[in-house]
Amino acid sequence: MANITFREAITRGLEEAIETDENVFIMGEDIGEYGGAYSVTKGFIEKYGEKRIKDTPISEAAFVGAGVGAASAGLRPIVELMSISFSLVAFDQIVNMAANLRYMSGGQIKVPMVIRAPTGAGVQLGATHSQSFETWLAEVPGMYCACPSNPRDALGLLRSAIKSDNPVIFAEHSHLYGSRGEVPEEYFEIPLGEARLDREGDDLTLVSYGYGVHILREAADAMAEDGIDAEIIDLRSLSPVDYPTVVASVQKTGRAAMLDTARRNGGAMAEIVSEVQERAMDWLDGPIIRVGSKDVPWPYNRNMERDILPDAKEVVDAARRVIAF
């Protein structure tokens, strides 16, 4: 097992793909000479050349559209957005084209492309660079949405994403690039849509994805001091959602709280809570409670940003309300 950073895990997955599949290439803004906004592709242009590493103009609509065309023609592009916030100017290409072409062509056209993007708030990037649009894109039929929380999952999910014949949104929370974790040296893949039991417990189920899992761990440690044994489920993917794993945990514990680091209003957890409640109603000893970010534009001010983001204390307070019900 190698102890590497989240960033290094992504880099390793990209290098493997380029070296083992001649149809794979990477394109995006400043991914070549600059090495990527988060240094994931540092040194790639020198190592693999301009045919495989393509710096693009500042036009997401143009280069995401080019990626859709390349994928439709048989290549496997990996498109990097500097921020998932910038997916807004490429929504037509992502939602109308990439997600629908296979269905509308009766399976004759495949779109095997990965769209990588830093996501989430908490690093003082201001309102227009701190969005979490993976929660929007996960609602679009025809594409997958992966949201890893640790280096091992980042590598395993990326391998599966690159091999997928459907488009995949690969959301990488900006808080996680420097986080470390053990990653097996031997080759492995993690199927898209398969959740992970992060921590076993008997008193209630905590559910999240990406950076939210780290908040849940802190909350679970705090609850353990009060004798509350929390189970944590890491969704790993928002589309598809591994409902059987979540439901099985809720049936075991009888209680649940779900965390979305995106905004609570209209977040992915609203849909997941609804579905789990329908499937596990008879096992619930109280309502499922959601925790999420406040419904305001993201501030640049550090203290204000921290106040808007959910934290472990909010999760603990929610869990105690569930248990006391």
Which residue in 237, 292, 252 sits closest to 269, CA to CA?
Answer: 292
Start-to-end C-alpha separation, the chain: 43
Q: How far apart (Å, rounded) are the C-alpha atoms in residues 57 and 62? A: 8
Residues annotated catalytic, as ranges: 60, 129
User: What tokens does 139 get?
Assistant: 């609602």
- State whether residue 169 is helix, strand or coil: strand
DSSP per residue, 292-304: EE-SSPPPSSHHH
Neighbours of 107 (CB within 10 A): 9
Q: How far apart are CA 54 and CA 33, in angstroms?
A: 10
Please state, in angstroms and rounded to a whole number, the distance separating the CA atoms of residues 181 and 151.
6
CA count, 13 A, side-chain hemisphere, 1: 8
Q: Which residues contact 49 (CB under 8 A, 6 or more apart)?
A: none
Contact status, residue 172 vs residue 134, Cβ threshold 8 Å = no
Nearest Cα residue to 164 out of 187, 192, 138: 192
The span from the CA of 219 to the CA of 316, in Å, is 6
Q: Give the separation between CA 325 and CA 323, rounded to whole angstroms.
A: 6
One-letter amino acid at 202 equals: D
